[in-house]
Structure 1
Amino acid sequence: MTMPKEDTNMMRALQGLESSSSSVRLQAALAVGTTPDTRCIDKLIERCAIEPEFSVREMLMWALTRHSSSMTVPELLHEVRSECAQARSQALHTLSKIGDRQAWPAITRALLSDADDEVARSAWRAAVVLVPEGEEPELAAVLSTQLGRGERAMQLSLSRALIALGEVIMPILRAAMTDLDPRVRAHAIATERLLRDPDAGFEFAIEEAKRIVALGRTSQEE
């Protein structure tokens, strides 16, 4: 009995996702996204958790967004609770692209402060996309607990997430500007600068903020 062409294509794509060649995996993910098949969802999600190549992960994510959210979101919500950091990060990243607000309850404080930087960054991006109207101040308060975390790229990601919430972040930033930790103060000042002047650039904003913090410390010592 001859297998229907669509089944043959699906089997070929699933096999391609397991290939040792990243270009073959990329083409397989593209094929699945071009002709979505719900039987491929589990394999796409499984591959997201272990795929080493960024470009392939992005294509896997795109392929998942091409399927019905009613089929993908429940599976992705399971993944955000995985012990594997990459599984959590990729699931959150995909949820942010799908934009289904039914996923909001899964964006927990634990994920927003995850010890893994990529998971935390993905959670921040997902949170500002999925947050229900009226809950922005509460989300901003949780995100503010991460001020001062990590290096420049990490801090810029948090600043962008906070800025996406709009003016509701101002009272929280003002409070953070008086924090005992100079890194928190500088990050809060830089974020406020970026909110007011998006064209300023984060490097300039953070260096300017550090100078302000340093001047403040010198004044106190005097």
Structure 2
Amino acid sequence: MSEVQRAGLQALYPFLADDGTPAGSPAERHEVLAALTESVARKATEIVDLRREMVESCGDQLAACAQAIATAAGRGGRLFTFGNGGSSCDAQQVATIFLHPARGWPVPAISLTNDIALVTALSNDVGFDLVFARQLAALAKAGDVAFGLSASGGSANVVRAFGEARRLGMLTVGLAGYDGGAMATAGLVDFLFVVPSSSIHRIQEVQTTLYHLLWELTQRQLVASESEVGGCTS
């Protein structure tokens, strides 16, 4: 390890020695390791409990949302996903798993954060608040699905996109945290899943679980619909 790396490590983790091991006496090292172990165990328990709470409280809503997405897809609807920062990464993942599922039927999906030239052009020319709404206005139609994510629930461009989606007659699905923020109060989201936490880490971890559940439940609905069609025509 170089001197620069050692200095950087010490600045980030002052409780570590130069070689990356806990600093101090054996008793002090034991105390640091015990604290780190307790922190990891507590966080793991928090996320498991929060995931269980969300699934138990929102199970029926998740199933209904998946049914609505499957119905929209069956009628030729497309899925448009959007979010900022970490939620932008999640929006891209949502589009990816629906468009390229490991099994089952693909759902046409587009992440509105993928085209950086378009995102920066709209941000520069018309304002960042409209960066997703303008794309929906140009690309989407009635019967499509708008899927927005915001850890705070208050992202202005996400809320504006839901407003445009409602104007177009799209199905709207949202994932938020805290108390849902503007996404909860604007009345623009047909299916809103609010993770009751003030920790960005816990919120985004649970949101990952929720959109994977929605994908799996949607796939089940699509498979069931295909089986029913096959049964009627055989």
Higher relative contact order (CA 8 A, sep 6+): 2
Instruction: Say which structure is richer in strand.
Output: 2
TM-score using structure 2 length = 0.24
User: Going by fraction, where is helix more abundant, 1 or 2?
Assistant: 1
